[in-house]
Structure 1
């Protein structure tokens, strides 16, 4: 009797990534993955010790894809902005994995490449070395949070989106003007969370970079 096929690590990750296109990380399981592959869970645990480790590997592949053919250009702010937008676009192709990255992070080669570029860019800014780790951490939290938040919006179904828009209209346009005078005043101009996500992403990132720039003493910058 022929034995079961042995799947490679890349084949396992390919299948898991495809499964996550139509489900979220919470409902995903190694058992379900094994069933799709026609094998048992124990064979997959030879490649990954846990579901979390597998999910981290998937997120890291997105980071690797984002860093493929990346070349740093411009000053330090442009480098960080360009990198952040590449990450946004890469995770936008598979938003379920953006939530995974935001929750579990990644410790693989892709993560190291991203960390190295951001740290190098911050060094080029002229910040003292002692301040760079904390500034890096703030940037990493902001970028991961923005990407994960946007991914959450992009994974809702058309019906859910329409329901959400209707609830938004009721909440805003139907607000009691005596109890919510400011909301009533701005009701026609307030936008739902899903609107102008790219603009919001870029503005919040630019504000953080401006905050860092303001902390640099004159003459410190090298780029």
Structure 2
């Protein structure tokens, strides 16, 4: 794509696409997300998107400057989906836990897109709402501004790092995923106690735990650390 985006007020397509839908930013993003799930990064091409939408590929320039602009919109959509149907409870720990788990699950549900987008800063409405919400939770819980910002930074980086890692694993071809899982049995399960006593002693627990994401436990560790940093004068509400 080239930098030919049309101002929002002039974007409306007058005729439906071949599928009978009016072209819109929402439809393009939803279609791009679906195609990325099928084809990965190569789905982000004007030709493929135009064909999937039943529209002239040049029409996409009315909504997005280039494919990177579209990718940022896709990234913002994942953040928005994490926030759908959820409201604050007023209990800081409950709310941070819910936000973290929801973001993590939104990326895991769209692993191919997550691999491309988890590290991006969108500057778009859904991301802005998430930033505002998290900072609001922390400030209203009594954390001073400087500490609230540092906690926000660590909290979001942890959630996105685990989301990206877990999504990358889910995005692997099925044979590769199965091979990775088998390593715990075939390699670690065969290690003798005389050379690797700690692995041998904990192996059944280790193999079982490595089958699932470490994020929920890591999140609880972070929330424990955040609680320890909370000013003693703050009212208990977490």
Among candidates 21, 24, 39, match of residue 8 of structure 1: 24
Structure 1 residue 64: deviation in Å? 1.9
**Equivalence map 1:151-166=2 (5 Å):** 151-166=167-182
Cα contact 2:76–2:125 (8 A) shared by 1: yes
**Offset at residue 187 of structure 1 (A):** 2.8
Match in the other structure for 2:223: 209
How far apart are 1:9 and its partner, in Å?
2.0
- Residue from 45, 67, 70 that aligns with 1:30: 45
User: Unaligned stretches of 5+ in structure 2?
Assistant: 1-14
Matched, 1:169 2:176: no
Count of residue correspondences: 218
- Shift in Å, 1:92: 3.2
CA distance 1:93–1:165, shift in 2 (3 Å): closer
The equivalences for 1:1-223 within 5 A come to: 7-25=23-41, 27-31=42-46, 32-37=48-53, 42-175=58-191, 177-191=193-207, 195-197=211-213, 200-221=214-235, 223=237
Structure of higher RCO (CA pairs closer than 8 Å, 6+ residues apart): 1
Report the TM-score, using the length of structure 1 for normalisation.
0.83
Change (3 A) 1:175 1:20: same
What is the root-mean-square deviation in Å for CA atoms of aligned residues? 2.7
TM-score (norm 2): 0.78
Structure 1 residue 136: deviation in Å? 0.6
Gaps of 5+ in 1: none
